[in-house]
Structure 1
Amino acid sequence: MSTTIDFIEYVCDQIAGVGEIRYRKMFGEYMVYVNDKPILLVCDNTVFVKILPCLDETMREADKEFPYDGAKKHYVLDIDNAEFSKKVIAILEPVTPIPKPKKKKGK
């Protein structure tokens, strides 16, 4: 089952106010960007965040799962808890780089 548009819009509503939010469909699932930085991975109506040392304390109680086949384990974010989700994003956003633009093929 892939993520529904209603769910991805719910995710964005839950984190409103943390910065400029946009999402992009990727392989039937979604990446949520905050200030042009890839912060949340949404697969099968579940929100994932990368396991990073800066989140060790905050996410110590969170489940860890594989978002898709071949991926590394990620934390599962309780997106229903808007304040907690915003706290996690506030920790992640400063340490997440803006992706470099991909070079066009043939140039």
Structure 2
Amino acid sequence: MQHLLFVYGTLRQGGSNQAFLEKSEFLGQHETLPEYALYDLGAYPAVIAGHHRIVGEVYLIDDVTLARIDKLEDVPIEYRREQIETPFGLAWIYLYQDTSQLDVLLSSGDWCQRV
């Protein structure tokens, strides 16, 4: 089965985990509606419900890739998956679950633009 996946952090082009998507089809860039908040956890980001837009990329992936990324994201412990609307169709997004860990908001919504 094929899935759409919206990625906003280390899975994006140039990110430390981008190799997970090497056999997947890059469909394009996407910016979400202002319904989320992006936080910097140091080595990786976290997205939760909020009032900012999130910048990312959409990929067409298969079941094996989705399962591998679920393991990377520690679903359902650290992250959970939900679907969002994109220009390419409904795509999975990973949302962080432990909001007590969140201190550094990236109001730009773009993990690749953090300093």
TM surpasses 0.5: no
Which structure carries more strand by proportion?
Answer: 2
Q: What is the TM-score of this pair, normalised by structure 1?
A: 0.28
Higher relative contact order (CA 8 A, sep 6+): 2
Bigger radius of gyration among the two:
1
Which structure carries more helix by proportion?
Answer: 1
